[in-house]
Amino acid sequence: MQRHEHEPFKQEIYRPIGIGTAHGKVILMGEHSVVYDFPAIALPLPAANVTVRLEQLDMKNHYIDSQIYTGPLHHAPNELNNLKKAINLTLSSGQIADARLRIWIDSNIPIGRGMGSSAAVTVALVRAMCHYFNLGLSDSQLAFIVNQAEVIAHDQTSGLDTLLVSTDSPIIYRKSASPVPIQFNMPATLVVADSGMEGETKLAVSKVGQLLEKTPRFVTNAMQSIGDYVGQALVAIKQNNIHDLGRLMTYNHYYLNQLGVSNPTIDYLVNRAWMSDALGAKLTGGGLGGCVIALARDYRHGQFIQAELLQAGAVDSWLLDLNTM
């Protein structure tokens, strides 16, 4: 029998679900110096992304299905405390009592590589809840909830990850100023490669802090130089000068290496990118592991560098077309 235009579908076949998405991020230049209030440039990475689906069920507890844990949320490991917090804050901001959620998290953003995995999962979860319960949260309300949740799980957050995983725009980020969106129209491709080692952002930041106490002049000069390179990179981006941008990325890596936040695995991948004719290459994020990035002339060159890095031991890789940002 044909359904009449005005007839609704039968109720029993309709099970509402909420869906939310978010993506990863990379720091193009300026990590570590950003801690000392110099600017950093960060980019959204749509190729690494997370989708959260959820539905409401008649259960006693929230139930979660993720890469790192599947089961009732109240038994989940501490690293998922951010999700508990985000659920509670979102439910209370929507004045929703007594909802029990079944949540599926599907992410290809590796954990602990400085790609914003934790913030991205939390953003996608809050978005899925907003979708399900029809809540109209503003961007700043979303950021508030996610940052509160991130603080619970990770003791501190600059808010950079939350911002980058929830917007489509590259950002100039500085501690003492509001973030500024920038546009890229560069005929170049950024290769992101995961070394397979967890990054150690906290340790790396404290290592740099100790080095600052021991050799203040060296570290202050290094920070100043990285800050200058970031300034020059912004000019190169405005002028679509991919060669200058690549060169400045490489200089940036040199200083990160001098500050002691690279390691042999990362340096090896950076070298392999240079040997593959990358315009520039460096570590990205906190360092002591994590990911490297390399600037390629175009998409095909990006695919070539990507294959070389995977062959050199990288465990995963993503491409970012800088023409479309």
Instruction: By CB under 6 A, name the binding residues for ligand PMV.
Output: 27, 31-32, 34-35, 114, 158, 199, 201, 205, 285-286
Nearer Cβ to ligand PMV, position 21 or 33?
A: 33
In sequence order, what DSSP letters do the residues of 229-261 get, joined into one string? HHHHHHHHHHTT-HHHHHHHHHHHHHHHHHTT-
Q: Which residues pair with 141 in a beta bridge?
A: none
Q: How far apart are the first and last CA of the chain?
A: 49
Least distance from C-beta 138 to ligand PMV, angstroms? 25
In the DSSP assignment, the letter for residue 131 is H
In the block, residue with structure tokens 């990160």: 256
In single-letter form, the type of residue at position 184 comes to: F
Nearer Cβ to ligand PMV, position 123 or 135?
A: 123
Nearer Cβ to ligand PMV, position 118 or 306?
A: 118
Residue 152 CA: distances (Å) to CA of 85, 104, 251: 8, 22, 36
How far apart are alpha carbons 129 and 124 in whole angstroms?
Answer: 9
How far apart are alpha carbons 260 and 93 in whole angstroms?
Answer: 44
Task: For residue 310, give the H/E element and its range.
Answer: helix 299-311
Nearer Cβ to ligand PMV, position 39 or 246?
A: 39
Token pair for residue 152? 């619970």
Least distance from C-beta 204 to ligand PMV, angstroms? 6
Nearer Cβ to ligand PMV, position 141 or 257?
A: 257
Least distance from C-beta 286 to ligand PMV, angstroms? 3
CA geometry: angle 173, 211, 28, nearest 5 deg: 25
Token pair for residue 77? 């490991």
How far apart are alpha carbons 76 and 301 in whole angstroms?
Answer: 43
Count of Cβ atoms closer than 10 Å to residue 121 Cβ: 29
How far apart are alpha carbons 263 and 267 in whole angstroms?
Answer: 6
Least distance from C-beta 107 to ligand PMV, angstroms? 16
Nearer Cβ to ligand PMV, position 187 or 209?
A: 209
Token pair for residue 108? 């290809």
Least distance from C-beta 57 to ligand PMV, angstroms? 35
Nearer Cβ to ligand PMV, position 18 or 199?
A: 199
In single-letter form, the type of residue at position 148 comes to: Q
Nearer Cβ to ligand PMV, position 114 or 302?
A: 114
Nearer Cβ to ligand PMV, position 285 or 302?
A: 285
Count of Cβ atoms closer than 10 Å to residue 308 Cβ: 21
Least distance from C-beta 261 to ligand PMV, angstroms? 8
